[in-house]
Amino acid sequence: MRSTPTRSDPVLARSLHLTLFVGAIAIFMALSVLFQVHTTLIIERDRLNSTTPVGQFEDYVAYYAAGRLVLESDGGKLYDLPRIAIEETEALGRPASGGVQPFFNPPFVAVFLAGLSALSLEQFGLALLVLNLALVLLTCVLLVRFAVLQTGLQRAGFALGYLSLASIAWVAQEGQLSMFILLGFLGFARFERTGNRTAAGASLALVLIKPQMLLFLVPLLLWHRRWPELRAFCGVAFALVLISIAASPSHFHDYPRFLLDSAGWSNENGVKISAMYGWNGFVANLTDLSSPPRELVLLLDTATLGLFGFGLAATRRWAPNLRLLTSAAALASLLVNPHLYFQELALLPLVIVCGLASSRHPADTRLWGAVGLTMWLASLVGRPSPFVPGPLLLTPAIAALLAITIWQLRKTNQRSATDPIDLRLTSDELSVDATVRVA
Protein backbone atom coordinates (compact mmCIF):
# COMPACT_ATOMS: atom_id res chain seq x y z
CA MET A 1 0.00 0.00 0.00
CA ARG A 2 1.49 3.33 -1.11
CA SER A 3 1.62 6.06 1.49
CA THR A 4 0.62 9.58 0.52
CA PRO A 5 3.46 12.03 1.11
CA THR A 6 2.68 14.66 3.68
CA ARG A 7 3.35 18.32 3.14
CA SER A 8 2.56 21.46 5.05
CA ASP A 9 -0.42 23.45 3.87
CA PRO A 10 0.64 27.11 3.30
CA VAL A 11 -2.93 28.33 3.82
CA LEU A 12 -3.20 26.43 7.10
CA ALA A 13 0.18 27.75 8.22
CA ARG A 14 -0.82 31.35 7.46
CA SER A 15 -4.09 30.86 9.30
CA LEU A 16 -2.24 29.48 12.32
CA HIS A 17 0.21 32.37 12.34
CA LEU A 18 -2.66 34.88 12.07
CA THR A 19 -4.50 33.17 14.92
CA LEU A 20 -1.41 33.31 17.13
CA PHE A 21 -0.86 36.98 16.27
CA VAL A 22 -4.48 37.94 16.98
CA GLY A 23 -4.43 35.89 20.18
CA ALA A 24 -1.27 37.65 21.39
CA ILE A 25 -2.79 41.08 20.65
CA ALA A 26 -6.00 40.11 22.48
CA ILE A 27 -4.08 38.93 25.54
CA PHE A 28 -2.02 42.13 25.57
CA MET A 29 -5.18 44.25 25.28
CA ALA A 30 -6.82 42.33 28.13
CA LEU A 31 -3.76 42.89 30.30
CA SER A 32 -3.85 46.58 29.35
CA VAL A 33 -7.46 46.84 30.48
CA LEU A 34 -6.59 45.25 33.83
CA PHE A 35 -3.61 47.57 34.22
CA GLN A 36 -5.68 50.67 33.41
CA VAL A 37 -8.42 49.64 35.86
CA HIS A 38 -5.84 48.94 38.57
CA THR A 39 -4.12 52.30 37.99
CA THR A 40 -7.43 54.18 38.01
CA LEU A 41 -8.49 52.58 41.30
CA ILE A 42 -5.14 53.44 42.91
CA ILE A 43 -5.48 57.07 41.78
CA GLU A 44 -9.01 57.25 43.21
CA ARG A 45 -7.88 55.66 46.48
CA ASP A 46 -5.15 58.29 46.80
CA ARG A 47 -7.68 61.04 46.12
CA LEU A 48 -10.02 59.79 48.81
CA ASN A 49 -7.09 59.61 51.23
CA SER A 50 -5.76 63.01 50.07
CA THR A 51 -2.40 61.43 49.21
CA THR A 52 -2.30 62.14 45.46
CA PRO A 53 1.21 63.26 44.40
CA VAL A 54 1.42 67.00 43.76
CA GLY A 55 0.84 67.92 40.11
CA GLN A 56 -0.71 64.61 39.04
CA PHE A 57 -4.30 64.02 37.86
CA GLU A 58 -5.66 67.40 39.00
CA ASP A 59 -7.80 68.41 36.01
CA TYR A 60 -11.02 67.72 37.91
CA VAL A 61 -10.09 70.43 40.43
CA ALA A 62 -10.85 73.13 37.82
CA TYR A 63 -14.37 71.75 37.38
CA TYR A 64 -14.87 71.65 41.13
CA ALA A 65 -13.69 75.24 41.57
CA ALA A 66 -15.91 76.44 38.70
CA GLY A 67 -18.93 74.73 40.21
CA ARG A 68 -18.14 76.28 43.60
CA LEU A 69 -18.01 79.76 42.07
CA VAL A 70 -21.48 79.28 40.58
CA LEU A 71 -22.77 78.00 43.94
CA GLU A 72 -21.37 81.12 45.58
CA SER A 73 -23.12 83.32 42.97
CA ASP A 74 -19.71 84.36 41.69
CA GLY A 75 -19.98 82.96 38.15
CA GLY A 76 -18.54 86.14 36.71
CA LYS A 77 -15.11 85.05 38.02
CA LEU A 78 -14.92 81.75 36.11
CA TYR A 79 -12.19 83.13 33.85
CA ASP A 80 -10.48 85.25 36.49
CA LEU A 81 -7.35 83.16 37.04
CA PRO A 82 -6.37 84.59 40.48
CA ARG A 83 -9.93 84.01 41.74
CA ILE A 84 -10.25 80.45 40.53
CA ALA A 85 -6.74 79.72 41.85
CA ILE A 86 -7.93 80.75 45.33
CA GLU A 87 -10.90 78.39 45.04
CA GLU A 88 -8.62 75.52 43.96
CA THR A 89 -6.15 76.20 46.77
CA GLU A 90 -8.96 76.12 49.34
CA ALA A 91 -10.21 72.80 47.96
CA LEU A 92 -6.78 71.12 47.68
CA GLY A 93 -5.16 72.69 50.74
CA ARG A 94 -2.30 73.81 48.47
CA PRO A 95 -1.92 75.48 45.07
CA ALA A 96 -2.85 73.41 42.04
CA SER A 97 -0.25 72.21 39.55
CA GLY A 98 1.26 75.20 37.73
CA GLY A 99 -0.32 77.55 40.26
CA VAL A 100 -3.77 77.28 38.67
CA GLN A 101 -5.87 74.89 36.61
CA PRO A 102 -7.80 77.16 34.20
CA PHE A 103 -11.44 76.47 33.41
CA PHE A 104 -11.55 76.19 29.60
CA ASN A 105 -15.24 75.33 29.22
CA PRO A 106 -18.33 77.53 28.69
CA PRO A 107 -20.19 78.79 31.78
CA PHE A 108 -23.11 76.35 31.35
CA VAL A 109 -20.72 73.48 32.18
CA ALA A 110 -20.01 75.08 35.56
CA VAL A 111 -23.77 75.44 36.10
CA PHE A 112 -24.35 71.74 35.46
CA LEU A 113 -21.50 70.82 37.82
CA ALA A 114 -22.62 73.18 40.59
CA GLY A 115 -24.75 70.53 42.29
CA LEU A 116 -21.85 68.07 42.50
CA SER A 117 -19.58 70.85 43.74
CA ALA A 118 -21.62 70.99 46.93
CA LEU A 119 -19.83 67.75 47.85
CA SER A 120 -16.30 67.61 49.17
CA LEU A 121 -13.51 67.59 46.58
CA GLU A 122 -12.88 63.87 47.19
CA GLN A 123 -16.56 63.00 46.74
CA PHE A 124 -16.71 65.19 43.63
CA GLY A 125 -13.79 63.28 42.12
CA LEU A 126 -15.46 59.95 42.90
CA ALA A 127 -18.74 61.11 41.32
CA LEU A 128 -16.90 62.14 38.13
CA LEU A 129 -15.15 58.75 38.05
CA VAL A 130 -18.46 56.87 38.27
CA LEU A 131 -19.96 59.12 35.58
CA ASN A 132 -17.00 58.59 33.27
CA LEU A 133 -17.01 54.81 33.74
CA ALA A 134 -20.71 54.72 32.86
CA LEU A 135 -20.08 56.83 29.75
CA VAL A 136 -17.16 54.61 28.70
CA LEU A 137 -19.37 51.50 28.85
CA LEU A 138 -22.23 53.29 27.05
CA THR A 139 -20.01 54.57 24.23
CA CYS A 140 -18.38 51.13 23.92
CA VAL A 141 -21.77 49.48 23.31
CA LEU A 142 -22.86 52.20 20.87
CA LEU A 143 -19.59 52.08 18.92
CA VAL A 144 -19.72 48.29 18.58
CA ARG A 145 -23.27 48.47 17.24
CA PHE A 146 -22.46 51.34 14.88
CA ALA A 147 -19.46 49.56 13.37
CA VAL A 148 -21.71 46.81 11.90
CA LEU A 149 -19.20 44.09 12.75
CA GLN A 150 -20.13 40.66 11.42
CA THR A 151 -19.11 38.21 14.14
CA GLY A 152 -19.16 38.08 17.92
CA LEU A 153 -15.39 37.67 17.89
CA GLN A 154 -14.96 40.90 15.92
CA ARG A 155 -17.28 42.77 18.30
CA ALA A 156 -15.44 41.44 21.33
CA GLY A 157 -12.08 42.37 19.81
CA PHE A 158 -13.20 45.92 19.07
CA ALA A 159 -14.63 46.37 22.57
CA LEU A 160 -11.39 45.08 24.09
CA GLY A 161 -9.32 47.44 21.98
CA TYR A 162 -11.51 50.40 22.89
CA LEU A 163 -11.47 49.71 26.62
CA SER A 164 -7.68 49.24 26.60
CA LEU A 165 -6.99 52.63 24.98
CA ALA A 166 -4.79 54.78 27.19
CA SER A 167 -6.74 57.92 26.23
CA ILE A 168 -9.97 56.37 27.54
CA ALA A 169 -8.33 55.57 30.88
CA TRP A 170 -6.85 59.07 30.96
CA VAL A 171 -10.35 60.60 30.84
CA ALA A 172 -11.36 58.70 33.98
CA GLN A 173 -8.07 59.30 35.77
CA GLU A 174 -8.03 63.06 35.15
CA GLY A 175 -11.75 63.48 35.84
CA GLN A 176 -12.29 65.03 32.42
CA LEU A 177 -15.50 65.47 30.38
CA SER A 178 -14.16 64.34 27.01
CA MET A 179 -16.59 61.40 26.82
CA PHE A 180 -19.41 63.89 26.21
CA ILE A 181 -17.59 65.08 23.09
CA LEU A 182 -17.33 61.51 21.81
CA LEU A 183 -20.98 60.88 22.70
CA GLY A 184 -22.05 64.03 20.82
CA PHE A 185 -20.22 63.09 17.61
CA LEU A 186 -21.35 59.48 17.89
CA GLY A 187 -24.98 60.44 18.46
CA PHE A 188 -24.84 62.74 15.43
CA ALA A 189 -23.45 59.98 13.18
CA ARG A 190 -25.88 57.32 14.46
CA PHE A 191 -29.00 59.48 14.12
CA GLU A 192 -27.92 60.59 10.65
CA ARG A 193 -27.71 56.95 9.60
CA THR A 194 -31.25 56.27 10.83
CA GLY A 195 -32.58 59.45 9.19
CA ASN A 196 -33.47 61.25 12.44
CA ARG A 197 -31.88 64.54 11.48
CA THR A 198 -33.39 66.59 14.32
CA ALA A 199 -32.00 64.22 16.95
CA ALA A 200 -28.65 64.30 15.12
CA GLY A 201 -28.42 68.07 15.44
CA ALA A 202 -29.49 68.00 19.09
CA SER A 203 -26.84 65.36 19.87
CA LEU A 204 -24.18 67.56 18.35
CA ALA A 205 -24.88 70.18 21.01
CA LEU A 206 -23.07 67.94 23.53
CA VAL A 207 -19.83 68.89 21.79
CA LEU A 208 -20.36 72.49 22.91
CA ILE A 209 -18.58 71.48 26.11
CA LYS A 210 -15.57 72.40 23.94
CA PRO A 211 -17.04 74.48 21.10
CA GLN A 212 -13.76 74.64 19.16
CA MET A 213 -14.31 70.98 18.30
CA LEU A 214 -17.15 72.09 16.00
CA LEU A 215 -14.93 74.43 14.01
CA PHE A 216 -15.23 72.27 10.87
CA LEU A 217 -18.48 70.35 11.32
CA VAL A 218 -20.89 73.29 11.61
CA PRO A 219 -19.59 74.93 8.38
CA LEU A 220 -19.88 71.48 6.77
CA LEU A 221 -23.58 71.36 7.66
CA LEU A 222 -24.04 74.86 6.24
CA TRP A 223 -22.21 73.83 3.04
CA HIS A 224 -24.62 70.94 2.51
CA ARG A 225 -27.68 72.88 3.72
CA ARG A 226 -28.56 70.42 6.45
CA TRP A 227 -31.24 72.70 7.86
CA PRO A 228 -33.04 70.23 10.20
CA GLU A 229 -29.75 69.43 11.96
CA LEU A 230 -28.79 73.09 12.17
CA ARG A 231 -32.19 74.14 13.55
CA ALA A 232 -32.03 71.51 16.30
CA PHE A 233 -28.42 72.31 17.09
CA CYS A 234 -29.03 76.06 17.24
CA GLY A 235 -32.10 75.55 19.43
CA VAL A 236 -30.14 73.61 22.06
CA ALA A 237 -27.15 75.95 21.70
CA PHE A 238 -29.40 78.97 22.33
CA ALA A 239 -30.72 77.37 25.53
CA LEU A 240 -27.15 76.73 26.70
CA VAL A 241 -26.23 80.35 25.94
CA LEU A 242 -29.12 81.52 28.12
CA ILE A 243 -27.90 79.27 30.94
CA SER A 244 -24.40 80.70 30.53
CA ILE A 245 -25.74 84.26 30.66
CA ALA A 246 -27.72 83.43 33.80
CA ALA A 247 -24.52 82.17 35.46
CA SER A 248 -22.72 85.48 34.86
CA PRO A 249 -25.05 88.12 33.38
CA SER A 250 -22.44 90.87 33.21
CA HIS A 251 -19.54 88.64 32.15
CA PHE A 252 -21.08 86.19 29.65
CA HIS A 253 -18.78 87.53 26.91
CA ASP A 254 -15.67 86.64 28.95
CA TYR A 255 -15.51 83.05 27.70
CA PRO A 256 -14.81 83.66 23.97
CA ARG A 257 -12.29 86.35 24.88
CA PHE A 258 -10.59 84.05 27.39
CA LEU A 259 -10.49 81.20 24.86
CA LEU A 260 -8.85 83.40 22.23
CA ASP A 261 -6.34 84.85 24.70
CA SER A 262 -5.39 81.41 26.02
CA ALA A 263 -4.58 80.22 22.48
CA GLY A 264 -1.49 82.43 22.67
CA TRP A 265 -0.20 81.07 25.98
CA SER A 266 3.10 79.17 25.88
CA ASN A 267 4.13 77.81 29.26
CA GLU A 268 2.04 79.76 31.73
CA ASN A 269 -1.12 79.50 33.82
CA GLY A 270 -0.83 75.74 34.13
CA VAL A 271 -0.51 75.27 30.35
CA LYS A 272 2.45 73.46 28.80
CA ILE A 273 2.47 73.60 24.99
CA SER A 274 4.75 70.56 24.59
CA ALA A 275 2.04 68.46 26.28
CA MET A 276 -0.51 69.33 23.57
CA TYR A 277 -1.29 66.89 20.76
CA GLY A 278 -2.32 69.44 18.12
CA TRP A 279 0.03 71.08 15.64
CA ASN A 280 1.30 73.55 18.25
CA GLY A 281 2.47 70.71 20.53
CA PHE A 282 4.04 68.90 17.59
CA VAL A 283 6.02 71.99 16.54
CA ALA A 284 7.04 72.71 20.16
CA ASN A 285 8.50 69.21 20.50
CA LEU A 286 10.01 69.25 17.01
CA THR A 287 11.82 72.55 17.55
CA ASP A 288 12.44 71.94 21.24
CA LEU A 289 11.15 75.45 21.95
CA SER A 290 8.82 76.32 24.79
CA SER A 291 6.98 78.73 22.48
CA PRO A 292 6.69 77.23 18.98
CA PRO A 293 7.00 79.50 15.90
CA ARG A 294 3.45 80.67 15.23
CA GLU A 295 4.11 80.97 11.50
CA LEU A 296 4.87 77.26 11.24
CA VAL A 297 1.83 76.32 13.33
CA LEU A 298 -0.35 78.57 11.16
CA LEU A 299 1.06 76.95 8.02
CA LEU A 300 0.15 73.48 9.30
CA ASP A 301 -3.30 74.69 10.34
CA THR A 302 -3.81 76.12 6.86
CA ALA A 303 -2.69 72.84 5.26
CA THR A 304 -5.23 71.01 7.44
CA LEU A 305 -7.96 73.38 6.31
CA GLY A 306 -6.92 72.85 2.69
CA LEU A 307 -7.00 69.06 3.02
CA PHE A 308 -10.44 69.18 4.61
CA GLY A 309 -11.65 71.51 1.86
CA PHE A 310 -10.26 69.11 -0.76
CA GLY A 311 -12.40 66.34 0.71
CA LEU A 312 -15.45 68.56 1.09
CA ALA A 313 -15.24 69.67 -2.54
CA ALA A 314 -15.68 66.06 -3.64
CA THR A 315 -19.17 66.01 -2.13
CA ARG A 316 -20.60 68.99 -3.98
CA ARG A 317 -22.56 67.03 -6.59
CA TRP A 318 -23.73 64.08 -4.53
CA ALA A 319 -25.37 63.64 -1.16
CA PRO A 320 -22.45 63.42 1.28
CA ASN A 321 -21.22 60.39 3.15
CA LEU A 322 -21.79 62.09 6.50
CA ARG A 323 -20.00 59.36 8.44
CA LEU A 324 -16.69 60.01 6.73
CA LEU A 325 -17.29 63.77 6.64
CA THR A 326 -17.95 63.76 10.39
CA SER A 327 -14.71 61.87 10.90
CA ALA A 328 -12.77 64.31 8.73
CA ALA A 329 -14.25 67.32 10.58
CA ALA A 330 -13.41 65.80 13.97
CA LEU A 331 -9.82 65.01 12.97
CA ALA A 332 -9.23 68.47 11.48
CA SER A 333 -10.59 70.06 14.67
CA LEU A 334 -8.21 67.96 16.76
CA LEU A 335 -5.17 69.07 14.76
CA VAL A 336 -5.86 72.81 14.91
CA ASN A 337 -7.04 72.80 18.54
CA PRO A 338 -4.54 74.89 20.58
CA HIS A 339 -5.51 73.04 23.78
CA LEU A 340 -5.62 69.42 22.63
CA TYR A 341 -4.86 67.16 25.56
CA PHE A 342 -4.27 63.42 25.39
CA GLN A 343 -7.68 62.47 26.81
CA GLU A 344 -9.46 64.13 23.88
CA LEU A 345 -7.93 61.51 21.58
CA ALA A 346 -10.72 59.29 22.90
CA LEU A 347 -12.49 60.62 19.78
CA LEU A 348 -10.28 58.52 17.47
CA PRO A 349 -12.25 55.23 17.80
CA LEU A 350 -15.24 57.02 16.27
CA VAL A 351 -13.20 57.64 13.12
CA ILE A 352 -12.38 53.94 12.81
CA VAL A 353 -16.01 52.99 13.40
CA CYS A 354 -17.25 55.45 10.77
CA GLY A 355 -14.73 53.97 8.36
CA LEU A 356 -15.90 50.42 9.07
CA ALA A 357 -19.56 51.43 8.76
CA SER A 358 -18.82 53.05 5.37
CA SER A 359 -16.91 50.06 3.96
CA ARG A 360 -18.49 48.49 0.91
CA HIS A 361 -15.84 45.94 0.08
CA PRO A 362 -13.73 43.53 2.15
CA ALA A 363 -10.59 45.46 1.15
CA ASP A 364 -12.00 48.62 2.78
CA THR A 365 -12.90 46.71 5.92
CA ARG A 366 -9.38 45.28 6.14
CA LEU A 367 -7.92 48.75 5.59
CA TRP A 368 -9.87 50.28 8.48
CA GLY A 369 -9.06 47.30 10.69
CA ALA A 370 -5.36 47.78 10.04
CA VAL A 371 -5.64 51.54 10.58
CA GLY A 372 -7.46 50.94 13.86
CA LEU A 373 -4.75 48.60 15.13
CA THR A 374 -2.02 51.04 14.05
CA MET A 375 -3.70 53.94 15.88
CA TRP A 376 -4.11 51.76 18.97
CA LEU A 377 -0.39 51.02 19.00
CA ALA A 378 0.43 54.70 18.35
CA SER A 379 -1.77 55.74 21.30
CA LEU A 380 -0.02 53.22 23.50
CA VAL A 381 3.44 54.52 22.62
CA GLY A 382 2.46 58.18 22.36
CA ARG A 383 0.75 58.56 25.74
CA PRO A 384 2.12 61.30 28.05
CA SER A 385 5.53 60.22 29.26
CA PRO A 386 8.74 61.90 30.43
CA PHE A 387 10.68 59.61 28.08
CA VAL A 388 8.83 59.82 24.74
CA PRO A 389 7.39 63.10 23.36
CA GLY A 390 4.01 61.68 22.37
CA PRO A 391 2.96 64.51 20.01
CA LEU A 392 5.90 63.73 17.70
CA LEU A 393 4.27 60.35 17.03
CA LEU A 394 0.54 60.88 17.49
CA THR A 395 0.04 64.24 15.77
CA PRO A 396 1.43 63.01 12.40
CA ALA A 397 -0.59 59.82 12.90
CA ILE A 398 -3.77 61.91 13.26
CA ALA A 399 -2.83 63.87 10.13
CA ALA A 400 -2.27 60.59 8.24
CA LEU A 401 -5.65 59.33 9.49
CA LEU A 402 -7.26 62.53 8.16
CA ALA A 403 -5.61 61.94 4.76
CA ILE A 404 -6.89 58.34 4.67
CA THR A 405 -10.38 59.51 5.60
CA ILE A 406 -10.36 62.14 2.83
CA TRP A 407 -9.11 59.53 0.34
CA GLN A 408 -11.90 57.13 1.33
CA LEU A 409 -14.43 59.96 1.15
CA ARG A 410 -13.43 60.86 -2.41
CA LYS A 411 -13.34 57.18 -3.33
CA THR A 412 -16.89 56.77 -2.03
CA ASN A 413 -18.14 59.73 -4.05
CA GLN A 414 -16.42 58.48 -7.22
CA ARG A 415 -17.73 54.90 -6.97
CA SER A 416 -18.75 53.23 -10.23
CA ALA A 417 -22.33 52.45 -11.15
CA THR A 418 -21.58 48.74 -10.90
CA ASP A 419 -20.97 48.86 -7.13
CA PRO A 420 -23.60 46.97 -5.16
CA ILE A 421 -26.00 48.95 -3.02
CA ASP A 422 -25.03 48.92 0.67
CA LEU A 423 -28.15 48.48 2.80
CA ARG A 424 -26.38 50.28 5.65
CA LEU A 425 -26.42 53.59 3.77
CA THR A 426 -28.60 56.56 4.66
CA SER A 427 -31.66 57.32 2.58
CA ASP A 428 -29.83 60.25 0.96
CA GLU A 429 -26.96 58.03 -0.14
CA LEU A 430 -29.36 55.37 -1.48
CA SER A 431 -31.12 57.98 -3.60
CA VAL A 432 -27.74 58.99 -5.05
CA ASP A 433 -26.92 55.36 -5.93
CA ALA A 434 -30.27 54.98 -7.63
CA THR A 435 -29.66 58.15 -9.65
CA VAL A 436 -26.26 56.87 -10.79
CA ARG A 437 -27.75 53.55 -11.93
CA VAL A 438 -30.54 55.24 -13.92
CA ALA A 439 -28.00 57.46 -15.60
Per-residue pLDDT band for 164 (boundaries 50, 70, 90) equals: very high
In the DSSP assignment, the letter for residue 268 is E
What's the total number of domains in the chain? 1
Judge whether 319 lies within some domain. Answer: yes
139 inside domain: yes
Q: What share of the chain is helix, strand, coil (3-state, %, to 5)?
A: 70, 0, 25
User: What global pTM score does this model have?
Assistant: 0.88
Is residue 85 a contact partner of residue 58, using CB atoms and an 8 Å limit?
no
Residue 87 in any domain: the answer is: no
Contact 173, 39 (CB under 8 A): yes
What integer pLDDT is reported at residue 8 of this predicted model?
52
pLDDT for residue 14: 66
Partner residues linked to 268 by β-bridges: 271
Q: What phi, psi does 269 have (nearest 5°)?
A: 55, 40
pLDDT single digits (tens) 63-98: 999 999 999 989 889 999 999 999 999 998 888 877
433 pLDDT band, cuts 50/70/90, is very low
Domain containing 243: what range?
Answer: 26-56+119-252+271-415
How distant, in Å, are the alpha carbons of 99, 108, 183, 343 from that of 239? 34, 10, 19, 27
Average pLDDT, rounded, for the chain: 86
Q: Is residue 305 part of a domain?
A: yes
Instruction: For residue 330, tell me if it sits in a domain.
Output: yes
Give the pLDDT confidence of 374-421 residue by residue, as tens digits: 999 999 899 888 788 899 999 999 999 999 999 998 887 665 333 443
Query: HSE (CB half, 13 Å, CA atoms) of 227?
Result: 0
**List of residues 6+ apart from 288 with CB closer than 8 A:** none
As separate numbers, helices (DSSP H) first and strands (DSSP E) second, the chain gives 19, 2
User: Per the domain annotation, does 437 fall within a domain?
Assistant: no
Domain membership flag for residue 379: yes
Determine the Cα–Cα distance for residues 439 and 433; give it in Å rounded to an integer.
10
Tell me, what's the pLDDT at 176?
93
Angle at 312 between CA 378 and CA 321, to 5 degrees: 80
382 domain residue, yes or no: yes
